[in-house]
């Protein structure tokens, strides 16, 4: 019976992780659209300030919207067993704060790469690097399950990422910002979000994590600019005032999709061993969805408002092959017996 219950939990977790990956495709495309069209800095010297302005607006507005949803009947639509926002213990807030603050820093890295013109499929692919060390971090924090079940699919997934994305277009700056910094920070955020979810419920963990993300977004933006480009504080404020006003409706829609992605991830992580790593493997279907969505938008609908793609047939072919390798890695992980 325990085996049957565990199998049911895993199927439910993979289902919510799959839903989250679909929502994450929309999040990546929406973030790119806003970065390229509504909060875009044409001057290279202003791109960091523009990224921080977007991060601040998204973080602060997002925290307000998440709290509003949690305090209304809307919350029970996505979590039927929700019974109100809890205050949480000191240990819970420790995990929620680390999860939110590290997610804010990771998001800042990603938004800066969007400002610099990288397409969301490439950014999502490089962000898959969190699978390199996340299982080890979960073991370090006390998970008892062996990482061997994750090793094969994770290696295959990284092969697919680099086959279709990394070796064709990655630059040193994108590698450092996304593959190293954002990947590590997002991985840390996911592990601590899993711990926060286990200490309470998915809705409470998601909302408090985003409250801390909003705090982190504001402080990271201001302190980051003061440390690197103090002369650009005025650009940052003007971008929030003028470009932010034009972008606010799109940001609100984006935040609602982010809410769905986050709550589905939290529900996927709850109650299963190595939950952060397991859901991350399935969640990397985002890379596949992002690529095919961009191909549709760029080549079929003829718009580059959501990102540019290379036009060389060989590179496109490599990207598609890489996407199928990533899909195979997820199938291998979710249905290991089918490979045996």
- Report the pLDDT averaged over residues 118-134: 81
Q: Does 169 score more than 60 pLDDT?
A: no
Cα-based distances in Å from 91 to 51, 65, 111, 175, 268: 32, 25, 30, 34, 21
Angle at 129 between CA 158 and CA 190, to 5 degrees: 130
For residue 262, being part of any structural domain is answered with: yes
Q: What is the pLDDT of residues 249-303, one digit of tens each?
A: 999 999 999 999 999 999 988 877 666 777 887 887 888 888 889 889 988 888 8
Domains in the chain, number: 1
Q: What pLDDT is attached to residue 92?
A: 96
For residue 340, being part of any structural domain is answered with: no
Q: Does 245 score more than 50 pLDDT?
A: yes
Residue 127 pLDDT level (bands cut at 50, 70, 90): confident
Look up the domain containing 103 and give its range: 10-334
For residue 318, being part of any structural domain is answered with: yes
For residues 152 and 93, the model is more confident at 93
For residues 118 and 306, is the Cβ–Cβ distance under 8 A?
no
Cα-based distances in Å from 61 to 64, 69, 158, 162: 5, 12, 34, 35
Q: Does 60 score more than 70 pLDDT?
A: yes
Q: Does 157 score more than 90 pLDDT?
A: no
Of 148-157, 204-213, 263-272, 322-331, where does mean pLDDT reach its minimum? 148-157
For residues 21 and 318, the model is more confident at 21
For residue 3, being part of any structural domain is answered with: no
For residue 99, being part of any structural domain is answered with: yes
Residue 1 pLDDT level (bands cut at 50, 70, 90): very low
Residues sharing a CB contact under 8 Å with residue 86, sequence separation 6 or more, in sequence order = 200, 201, 204
For residue 34, being part of any structural domain is answered with: yes
How many Å is the maximal CA-CA distance in the chain?
Answer: 64
- Report the pLDDT averaged over residues 195-224: 95
For residue 115, being part of any structural domain is answered with: yes
For residue 328, being part of any structural domain is answered with: yes
């Amino acid at each position: 019976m325990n085996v049957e219950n565990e199998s049911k939990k895993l199927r439910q977790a993979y289902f919510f992780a799959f839903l989250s990956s679909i929502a994450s495709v929309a999040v990546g495309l929406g973030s790119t659209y806003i970065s390229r069209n509504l909060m875009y800095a044409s001057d290279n010297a202003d791109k960091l300030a523009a990224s921080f302005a977007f991060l601040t607006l998204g973080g602060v507005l997002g925290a307000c919207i998440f709290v509003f949803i949690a305090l209304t009947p809307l919350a029970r639509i996505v979590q039927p067993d929700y019974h109100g926002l809890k205050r949480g213990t000191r240990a819970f807030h420790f995990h929620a704060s680390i999860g939110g603050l590290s997610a804010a820093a990771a998001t800042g890295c990603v938004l800066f790469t969007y400002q610099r013109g990288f397409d969301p499929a490439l950014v999502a692919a490089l962000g898959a690097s969190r699978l390199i060390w996340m299982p080890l971090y979960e073991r370090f924090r006390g998970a008892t399950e062996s990482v061997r079940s994750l090793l094969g699919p994770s290696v295959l997934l990284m092969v697919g990422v680099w086959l279709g994305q990394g070796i064709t277009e990655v630059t040193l700056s994108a590698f450092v910002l996304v593959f190293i910094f954002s990947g590590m920070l997002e991985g840390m955020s996911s592990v601590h979000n899993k711990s926060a979810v286990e200490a309470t419920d998915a809705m409470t963990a998601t909302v408090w994590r985003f409250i801390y993300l909003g705090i982190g977004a504001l402080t990271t933006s201001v302190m980051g600019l003061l440390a690197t480009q103090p002369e650009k504080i005025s650009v940052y404020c003007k971008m929030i005032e003028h470009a932010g006003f034009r972008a606010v409706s799109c940001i609100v829609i984006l935040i609602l999709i982010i809410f769905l992605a986050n709550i589905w991830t939290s529900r996927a992580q709850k109650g299963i061993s190595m939950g952060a790593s397991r859901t991350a493997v399935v969640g990397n279907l985002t890379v596949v969805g992002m690529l095919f969505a961009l191909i549709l938008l760029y080549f079929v609908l003829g718009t580059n408002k959501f990102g540019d793609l290379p036009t060389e047939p060989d590179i496109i072919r490599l990207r598609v092959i890489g996407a199928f390798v990533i899909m195979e890695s997820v199938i291998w992980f979710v249905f290991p017996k089918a490979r045996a």
